[in-house]
Every structure is written in C-alpha cells, then in structure tokens.
Amino acid sequence: MEKGKGKDTDRSKGIPGHHARVQSGDIYLDIFGYRTTPMKTIIFYALTFCTLGIFRLLMHWKEEWYIEMRAEKCSLDEANVVFVIDENQTMVYRSVQIIDQKSPNQPLLLPNRDGTYNDVGRIRYFTFRKMLYAWFVDEEKFIPPSSLDSTAPVTVFINRMEDSNGLNTQEVEQRRITYGRNVIEVKLKPILVLLFKEAITPFYIFQVLSVSLWYWDEYLYYASVIVIISVGSLTLDVYQTRAQEKKLRSMVHSSGEVSVLRDGGTISILDSGELVPGDIIIIPKTGGVMQCDAILMTGTVIVNESMLTGESVPVTKVAMTGIDEDNAAGNVRFDFEKHSKHVLSCGTMVLQTRYYGGQHVRAMVIRTAFSTTKGQLVRSIMYPKPVDIEFNRDLLRFVGFLCCIASIGFAYTIGMMVHYNAQFKKIFIRSLDLVTCVVPPALPAAMSVGIINANGRLRKKDIYCISPSVINTCGMINACCFDKTGTLTEDGLDFQTLRPVHPSSSNRKMPEFGEETAAMVPGEMPKNGEIIKAIAACHSLTRIDGVLQGDPLDLIVFNQTQWTLDEGQESQAEETTQFDKVQPTVVRPPVEHREFYGADEFGVIRQFTFSSALQRMSVIVGSPNAVSDHQMIIYCKGSPEMIVSLCNKETVPADYLDIVNKYAQHGYRLISVACRTLEMSFLEAQKVPRQEVESDLELLGLVVMENRVKSVTKGVIRQLNSARIRTVMVTGDNLLTAMSVARECGIVRADRKAYLLEHVPDQKNAQGRTLLTVKENLSADPDDYMNLLDGDENEVEKMLTSSYQFSVAGGTFAVITREYPELLDDLMTVCDVFARMAPEQKQYLVNYLQTLEYTVSMCGDGANDCAALKAAHAGISLSDAEASIAAPFTSKVADIRCVPTVIREGRAALVTSFGVFKYMANYSIAQFTSVMMLYYRLTNLTDFQFLYIDLFLATFIALFFGNTGACDYLSKIPPPTKLLSIASVVSVVGQMIIFAAAQLFMFLWVTEQPWYFMNILQEDYTDSDLRSHQGTAIWCLSLFQYIVLAFLYSKAAPYRQTILSNKMLCFALVLTTVVSLYVTLWPAGWVISFLEYDPIPYFEDRLFVVVVSCLCCGVSYLFNMFVVEYLILHKLENWRKLRKLADPKAVIPKWERIMLRIGKDTSWIGQYAQVEHALPEKTHKNGFAKNGFNSKKELLNTIDELSSKL
C-alpha cells in the first residue's frame, strides 16, 4: 500500500473534492479541505475557557483532533482551512488566505501548464514550509505556481527569449503578488516564542505541574532544583535552536544588485529581491553569486556550483536554443535535471562569461526565493525528515508503561491515606506526588548527552554534522553506498598511455590499434597526431585570473599534450577576429609540432557540454586558415561504449571491445576519442543541432587513465565487511572498471562469485521485453568460496549471506526498473556494483534500498551525488567546507575513513541513549518503591534526602554517561535498535523486582529491631510526613542501588570503550560511593541535621545495611550478566532469530527474507535473463540451493537442531 494511502482514503471518504495529492518525485502532500462553523467555534472556545486552556493544549499536541473539533469536512474549493499531511506523516493545519484584485483594470495572474497566464479576480492560497500553494480551478487542487510555469514546454521559453524586451511594470506587480519577493530569508524566531514552544511540550507541562505540586507541599529545595534543571535544559534547547537558526541564516543569506531588462528593453539596476519569474537579467562580466534560478539565453557562462554540489570544479553553462537535441520536439517540457546545462542555479558563483561581440550575456528568471534550487535545500534543512521515529514511539510506550506503574501507586496511596483517615488535601498531594516520582525530571537532558558528546567527538575528527538527531540513526546503518571517483579512488587520475587507431589503407584492410605510447609526438602517430589535437581541444577548461581551471581529468590530459590555451580575447593572432565576432577558446600546439597541423592556433567555435546521460562531450574546432573553405572539425570524447555507437563501423578496429575490456578489468579509466570533418560556416556551427554532428564519427583511439584506490579505502571496506555491513559502489564510470576497483578494494569479495547482468538493446525475449543476459565476470577461488561457508560466521550469519554478487550498469538498471519491476527486490539485495548511474538513478537506488528496510548511508564527494546524499538515512559529503547543505555530515578529510567513524559514534550514542533511559527508568521506579513502602506507615523521605538522590546521584551521574567514547572497532553484532526489546524490558522489570525485594527486606528488618519504635499516628492525620528509621535504612540501601545501575548500564565493548576510559563518570561513581558510605556508616551530626533523617543507632546495624546493599548490587550484576546478557541477548535472541527466519509470517526486515530465499541460489535470475555461463551451484525450483538448504524442510530441521543446542 502506498504510504498513508489507507488513512487518507478514510479521511476523505464520502466528501467529493475533499482531498487532493500534490506530488513531486518522492515528495508529496495530502491536502484535505475543512470549513470552520460558528457552532464548533463556540464549543471549542467554551471548552478551552472551562478547562483553563488544557483543552487547547491537548489540541495543540494532536492537530488531527484540533481540525476535527474546529471545522467540518468540505471540498477543497470551499475550504477556509486545510489539513496537510506530508510524506513522513507529519500533520499540520493551515488557514486559506484570499487575495482579491484591487480594480477591474488590475487582474491577478496564475500560470498554466502550457506557459501562459490566466487573469483571475481572486487567489486562494495557503503557505506551507515557506512555499505558497495557490488554488487552481482547472486542476482542482492547491499547487505552487512555480511548479507550473517552470516546467512549461521548452518552446515557450525559447519564444520568450527571442521576443522579450523585459516585463512591463504591471506584469512585474502582478507576478510579485503571485510569487512574492525573491528573498531566501531565515527569520530568527523571537526568544519568547522559542521558549513558549519548548515550554508547552508534554514533558515540560508535566514538569510545571510537578513543581507546582511540590511547592504547594513545601518541597522547596527539591522543587527549586528541578526548576533550575528544567530552566537550564529549556535554555540550552532554545540556545541550540537559535544557534542553528543563526548559522543557517549566515550560510544562506545573500543579496545584491542585478541588471534587469524591463519596460521595452531598458536596463535597470535593482535589488535582487525585486526579481520575478520572466525577468530578463544581464550576467555581468565580473561574475558574482546568482540570486535566482535562470535559463541562459545567450552566450556561455562558467560557474562554480560547490555551494550546491560540494564540487569546486568550474562548470560550463550554454545558452538554450531550439535546435538542441533535448529541445527539438515541440512537446518537450523543461526539466531542471535534463536541461541543467542551460540553468544558472541560485547560490552558484558565476566565474566568467563569454559572449558574442557587442552583446550582453542574458538569462531568464524561472524560479525565485524558496522555490529555487538553493531554496529547496534550505527548506530541507529547516524542515528535516523525521529520524528515530520508531525510537521515539518506543520511548513514549515506555513512558506509558511507567505511567501504568504510577497509576498503581496512585491507587495504592489513596487507599492507604483513606485507611488512615487522612484529609483530602493530604490524599490529593501524596497520591499525585507518587506519580511525579515515576517520570524523572532530568530525562530529556539525560537522553541527549550521548548525541551531544558524539557530535563533539566527530568535530574533533573534522566531521561536521548539521543535524545531530541523525547521529543515533547512524548506529543502525547496515548498508553503505559509495561513489567511486574521488571517494574510493583518488580524485585525480594519472595519465597512463594512448592507444591510437591506425585507419584502414592500401596496406591495412581494417583499422587497428597501434602500440601503447605515453609520448604525444604527432610525427609518430597516425594522421599526424590528430588524436593529440582532439585531446587538446575537446575539454571544458578555462582560464580564470590567468589560472587554467576545470575538470581534473581534462587538466591532466591537456597538460600531457604540452599545448597552450588562451581565451579569445587573449589571442595574439589577427586571424582570431575572423571568428564571426565570437570569443572562442584558442588552443596552440608547441612550436616544434605546428608543421604537422598547418596552423599556429585553433579556435573552439562551439562546445557541447558533458552530460552524464549522454556520456560524452564534443567541440567544433575551426582554423583561421580554413575560413574561406568553411572547414570545421568536431572532436568528441566520452565513454567507450557511447563513442563507438556514434562511429562509422568501418573506422572501428575489430578487437575494440576486447581491448576496452582488457583495460577496464585492470581498473583503468578509458576515454574514447573520435572526430568528423564538417563543411559549414561559423554561423551554421553555432546553430547546428548536436545530434546532427555527433554521428558518423571516425574513431581516433583510446586515452587510458589510472584511477588509483586511496590508501585507506581497502582497510575501511575490510572493516565494514567484517562488521557485516553491506558495501555498495554507485558510480558513473564504466562497468568493468567499476568491477575491477570494487574487487581491488573489497566490495566485490574474493570468496564470492561475481556476475554481470546486462541487456541487449535490439533483442526481445519471448515476453516481448528487452533481453537480459548474465555472465560470470571474474571467477572466485574455490577455496575462498568454501571459506565463506566454513568461516567463523554463526548459523544466522551464514543464512543471511549471499554466495555471489551482481553488477549492473545504468542502462540495464533503467531497463529493469521499466520492464522488470518484479526483479528489483531480488537484484537490489545481491547487487553491489552499480555503474554508469545517472544522479537520479543514484537517488532511486538509495530510496529502494530503504524500502528493503536497510538503514543506508551514502558517501560521496558531492559531484552528482547530492540527491543520493539527501535521500540516505545518513549522507556524508567529502568536502573542504566546514558544513555543506548537501548532506547531514561533512568530512574535511576527503576519504572514507569517516564512514566507520560515524557508524561507531552512532552506535555509541544509540547505546548511551538506551543505557541512560534504562538508568533513569530504574532510578525512578526504585524511588517509587521506596516511597510506596514508607507511605504504608505514612512516613516519607525528607526533602534533602530526595535532593541528594535526584541531584547528587541521578543527575550528576547521568550527566557524564555520554562521555564514554566509541569503541575502536566495528562489531559484526549490530546494536539493539528497539527500546522495547525483550532484553530492555526484562532488564528494567528484573532490576525493579530485585530492588523492591531488597527494600522490602530492609523495611521488615528494621521493623524487627529492638531500637525501632513505631510512630503513633493520630486520627485525622494532617501533619507533615514523619521521618523514620525505616526511611533511613531504605534510603541508604537505595543509594547503592542507584550507583550500581550506572555501572550496569555503562555498557562497554563492542560499542563503547570501557567505563575506565570515562574519567569523569569514574570520578562521579567513586565520589558518590564514598559519600554514600560516609553518610551510611559514619554520619556526622551536621550531616544528620542537614539531611533531616533518623540515623540507625548502632554501627553494626549500619554495616549490615551496607552488606545487604552489596549483596543486592551483586544480585543485580549477576542478573544483568547472566539473564539479560547471556540468556536473552545471546541465547534467546539467536533462537528467536532462527525461528523468525523459518516462519514466513514473522516480521523481519524485507532484505533478510529475500536473502534467505536467494542467498545461496541463483536460479531466480534464470527466469528473467539468458545465462551465458554455468551458475555456481546446483539450483532447485523451490528456491533453496545445495550450499544453503535443499528444501524448506531441511531449513526447519537445521533450525530445530540449532534450537536444541541453545
């Protein structure tokens, strides 16, 4: 079922037009219409008044209740309130606002999908997360206006560019009403507003009620300390929120002046906030920061997109024309991904402009403010995807469990007080007071210490996190995706060799590859070194402030040629002025090589920029000496498979694929180079469609580059593999090259079979679908393969381990997603190398892994990885910047050692959160049982005894819980991810029983002592609680119980370091132990007076209390180690896991169910693909394999046998 679909259907049932869904990719909003009524309004405010605001507070916590109590369902076109549910099931209500036209001569505008505008008299809208959603009558839904006109047909934009002299004043005013000002502003909320929002959360409201009760009961010191703690925690939360707001505002704040074409072509200098979609802006020669999203209309612009992508390599943007191959069809709609080469994105830095003589470089504004690319990223930071949803649910359930215990105590207290004829006030205060004992006031602050300390440790390792709440999620990661180039391998490549192609001739019937050569000497190469000229001209390099900049690969190869590059204005040749008033890039060969080329310089007349989808780039080159002949040459370079598809087959050597595969299998990166002679004028060269000239090419040869694996990569991948964390390569490089690098670094394991899944474009199978083929790539060593089955894995691990791995290229991946959707689940579970993947495919992959219930991290250098980084549970960007808005984590150390570090710190933070919660829960319950026993005789602990426990013991110890660092290695045993696991519940309940039994024993023991006397209770008892020896004994005993809890729940390996490494916690434990021994065994008079308790009179009896305490602590330790750690976590959990794997109805992660079925069996792929090589194992129709289990019966028998051993 689609997420939220069933709930949404129920909500909108029976009301036509009540619900509409607005969707953009994986992001959607479900919008429901409501209308307020006078009767519901009166009832609502009456209930709010009668309950002193409590009713309104409940409605604030449950907004779905608020909307039902405040309004009635209606169709969206009648609604004055809407209820919005996003893809994460976050629910909010928004009021529908109305803008009416001021006069008949000043209509309002709303865009259409065809790029036109409608005059309307009224605009109904609401705002949600900084975006305006307007009501479109024809669409019958609320839609952001920017999502319509920015996706209009390409021809609409082209026509506007050719005809437009800018908007007039009225059009500007109309559009400003519709789109608002062009400002990305992160407003700082007033401190009082932040305080109020934090203070009305359920927990703080509970604290307010608690301290009010305590003040009423004259627990002044204790209540005051809790107020100080609460105010401190509240202040810290507000401070952190304000600091994050300030940091985000400083990161995104940008404004400036822009030159705008308006009112018939007049150039005006305006503030960037005045821009509206449709404005024509002038891109200055000096560059600057883009203040909006715009389509380039004329000229060429070089930009730095590092702010958005994390990649500082300059990118060339070209003007949009109607002859571009992407825009040739009249019905093609503008798409930001597809047409990114024409888009200047908000927030990017313009480095340089190139233009026609006498003309400005112009661009058309298409998106402003928060609808821009930068605005969307800012919104994703301001409104992050909720994390730890299950953890928070478990937390609330556990608090509910504590409340159930509190209700028992509540009833017990009332019963006891009534039995002793206490007055109503006494009954009321004492029964509620017991409830406040159960939920500890320091819980929120204590729960956050693990995350705060983990974040601090990450910063010390140059790993910066802009969303600390994600850290706990990192502890659950079980699949890591990596980009290849710049992430697993070095960012730069080393030039290895050239393999030029000798064309066919009278002496050579077929073209063939020449010998490898690293020296670029034209006289020693075919066609006088035409391949060298192609390499020197076909790139996107540019000079900025005299320094050659561009793609590192282009820089390395260009420098190898020893040619020089100048911008057109720097050319010294007079002939350059003949290039039709174009400013071309000019390349010149070394002086000693010019005789081979017949010219001193060559001008790059036209550049078709590199496209990930097209896998190539090309340039049209002309020589001033050939102007009269209109002779041009197009040079094209790209992936070997793409370039050969564009070449004339007669120019391709017969062993082309063999040579390419040979290099690729050794991990080399290959670039194919081709050319074609053109007969056209310079003007024709500027307008010719790309697809027209990138065809019938002549292959010139291969450039071979070595992409070295980073020194730390192998070790990191080995760590992750040892920890049984799945590693996946997601790259845009060649499939065989990716396979080679994956095998070298360990992603493709030596102990597993490796298969390539490919498609045959021109062939169909019996079902009419594109033919898929499977072949073995690199055979594994049989001994290594057996090690997989006979290693140190336990039986569960063996069952959930695949004996083989698949690799797939982006083209095949697209075919599978389109034609074989039923294959995706199985393939995604066993395929670990994805090559030739476009950015949107990387995002799709990450999202799909999440649907298989993997917790996914994505690590990349920012180039083409932004979407995947944002989609992952934990995106880690490798960047020099201290913070990047492309991912929650940014590592300034540009290698993948940060990945295990983030996981280890995540595991430490997660285990710390679990430990702190169990500690606080047990401490509260222990105090609860103490008070319940004392209430039996209407006695109680004194104010300062409570203060000693809550402040000096519980809060002081919990404060240092998170100081324990992460373990130095990654364990293959994943940490617990559920707070309400059997182990957690048994641990808390078991310690509760042990503590309660010890306290009951102490209560009864004191009663039997000769020095004990019972307080004489008067009828109509109204005095303050009496202190007693029973209270003293139970209090002294409980002190050591609280201390041992801290020791028990400070879990060390395999997720955290030993408790001894946490010096502050050790100091706290030693100090509290010494002080507790002192006040128990040798209390001075001033201590007795200060704590206001009755001391146990004899040292031997006081020593007996300590002995009982030690025995109780020993029992607690043995229970935790034997029952919880050994029987439950080790034996019972393994047994339950095995039973779940055997039970098809059991709830286990989806990927585990799939792996159990296909992990040792490859027969499933034979149903979809043609197998070219024998598969590794004998397979069976029932889905179990020889090296796994021959049948389900065998699986069940094996589980029963293992269970009997457990």
Task: Please give the pLDDT value at position 1201.
Answer: 54
pLDDT of residue 781: 43
Distances (CA, A) of 1077 to 996, 1038, 1042, 1043: 21, 12, 13, 12
> At residue 302, does pLDDT exceed 60?
yes
Q: CA-to-CA distance for 55 and 59, rounded, in angstroms?
A: 6
Residue 1172, domain member (yes or no) = no
Q: Answer whether residue 459 is part of any domain.
A: no
pLDDT number for residue 754: 87
At residue 237, the pLDDT reads: 76
pLDDT at residue 7 is higher than 60: no
Distance CA 637, CA 736 (A): 19
- Span 274-301, average pLDDT: 88
Tokens of 766: 């019996």
Most confident region among 2-11, 203-212, 555-564 by mean pLDDT: 555-564
Mean pLDDT of the 1024-1051 span: 88
State the pLDDT at residue 902: 96
- Residue 729 forms part of a structural domain: no
- Residues 142 and 195 grouped into a single domain: no
| Confidence category of residue 354, pLDDT binned at 50, 70, 90 | confident
How far apart, in whole angstroms, are the C-alpha atoms of residue 100 and residue 137? 16
- At 324 the pLDDT is 56
Give the residue with greater pLDDT, 834 vs 286. 834
CATH number at residue 952: 1.20.1110.10
**Could you list the active site residues?**
483
Mean per-residue pLDDT over the chain, rounded: 82
Residue 723 has pLDDT above 80, yes or no: yes
> What is the spatial order of strands in the sheet that 831-835 belongs to?
463-465, 889-891, 874-878, 856-860, 479-482, 726-730, 831-835, 804-809, 753-764, 770-776, 1169-1171
pLDDT value at position 461? 92
* 961 and 1102 together in one domain: yes
Whether residues 441 and 502 share a domain: the answer is: no
Stretch 911-922: mean pLDDT, rounded?
89
Last residue of a domain, one of 1133, 1157, 1179: 1133
Q: Structure tokens of 665?
A: 């299998």
Helix (H) or strand (E) holding 1112: helix 1099-1118
pLDDT band at 570 (very low <50, low <70, confident <90, very high): very low
410 and 552 belong to one structural domain: no
pLDDT at 1072 over 90: yes
Tell me, yes or no, whether 547 and 414 share the same domain: no
Average pLDDT over residues 770-784: 65
**Where residue 636 sits, what CATH number does that domain have?**
3.40.1110.10
Per the DSSP assignment, residues forming a β-bridge with 356 are 582
510 and 426 in one domain?
no
Same domain, 523 and 636: yes
Local confidence band at 1104 (pLDDT 50, 70, 90 cut-offs) = very high
Which residues are CB-contacts of 609 (< 8 A; sequence separation ≥ 6)? 316, 317, 318, 341, 540, 617
Question: For 90-99, 734-743, 900-909, which range has the lowest pLDDT when averaged over its residues?
Answer: 734-743
AA identity, residue 669: R
- The tokens for 956 are 């002081």
User: Are β-strands 288-289 and 463-465 bridged in parallel, bridged antiparallel, or unpaired?
Assistant: unpaired
Burial class (CB in 10 A: 0-12, 13-18, 19+), 637: buried
The predicted structure's pLDDT at residue 155: 81
* Angle between helix 1099-1118 and 1063-1081 (nearest 10): 140
Average confidence (pLDDT) over 766-779: 79
Supply the Cα-derived Rg of the chain in whole angstroms: 36
Residues 427 and 542 in one domain: no
At residue 189, φ and ψ (nearest 5 deg) are: -70, 140
3-state secondary structure of 198: helix
Q: How far apart are CA 908 and CA 962, in angstroms?
A: 8
Domain of residue 597, residue span: 494-706
Write the CA distances from 298 to 18, 237, 295, 617, 683, integer angstroms: 46, 50, 9, 20, 14
* Last residue of one domain, picked from the residues 1133, 1161, 1183: 1133
Residue 321 has pLDDT above 80, yes or no: no
Q: Which residue has the higher pLDDT, 94 or 424?
A: 94
Residues 138 and 198 in one domain: no
What is the per-residue pLDDT for 900?
A: 96
Residue at which a domain ends, from 683, 706, 729: 706
In this structure, which amino acid lies at residue 1133? E
In-domain check, residue 661 = yes
| Residue 59, pLDDT above cutoff 70 | yes
- Is there a domain that residue 936 lies in? yes
Among 584-593, 812-821, 1052-1061, the minimum mean pLDDT is found in 584-593
pLDDT confidence of residue 167: 87
| Lowest-confidence region among 93-102, 154-163, 415-424, 1020-1029 | 1020-1029
pLDDT tens string 175-213: 999 998 999 888 888 888 888 888 888 878 887 888 888
pLDDT band at 310, cuts 50/70/90?
Answer: low
Q: What is the pLDDT of residue 1025?
A: 59
Asked whether residue 964 is assigned to any structural domain, the reply reads yes
Q: How many domains does the chain have?
A: 4
Q: Which two tokens stand for residue 1096?
A: 């146990």
Span 942-985, pLDDT tens digits: 888 888 888 888 878 888 888 999 999 999 888 888 888 888 88
- pLDDT value of residue 1186: 40
Which pair of tokens denotes residue 751?
Answer: 């102990």
Helices 424-438 and 202-216: crossing angle in degrees, nearest 10, is: 140
Residue holding tokens 């109509």? 1020
What percent of the chain clears pLDDT 90, i.e. is strictly above it? 27
**What confidence score (pLDDT) does residue 1126 get?**
87
Question: Does the residue 850 lie in any domain?
Answer: no
Residues 79, 131: one domain? Answer: yes
- Show contacts of 1164-1167: CB within 8 Å, 24+ apart: 1164/826, 1165/755, 1165/757, 1165/774, 1165/806, 1165/826, 1166/774
The pLDDT score that the predictor gives to residue 581 is 44
Predicted confidence band of residue 460 (pLDDT cuts 50, 70, 90): very high
Q: In sequence order, what are the residues at sequence separation of 6 or more whose Cβ sits closer than 8 angstroms to the Cβ of residue 790?
A: none
Give the closest residue to 796 by CA, choosing from 299, 1141, 401, 377: 1141
Q: What is the pLDDT of residue 82?
A: 93
Q: How confident is the model at residue 1062 (pLDDT cuts 50, 70, 90)?
A: very high
Query: Which of 8-17, 367-376, 863-872 has the highest mean predicted lDDT (pLDDT)?
Result: 367-376
Same-domain status, 550 and 406: no
Regarding predicted confidence, which is higher, 674 or 518? 674
Q: Using an 8 Å Cβ cutoff, are 562 and 588 in contact?
A: no
679, pLDDT greater than 60: yes
Residues 1020, 1127: one domain? yes
% of the chain with per-residue pLDDT over 70? 87
Q: Is residue 694 situated within a structural domain?
A: yes
Instruction: Give yes or no for residue 790 having a pLDDT over 80.
Output: no
Triad 1184, 1189, 1195: Cα angle to 5°: 110
Residue 165 phi, psi (nearest 5): -110, 20
Residue 612 has a pLDDT of: 64
Distance CA 180, CA 561 (A): 52
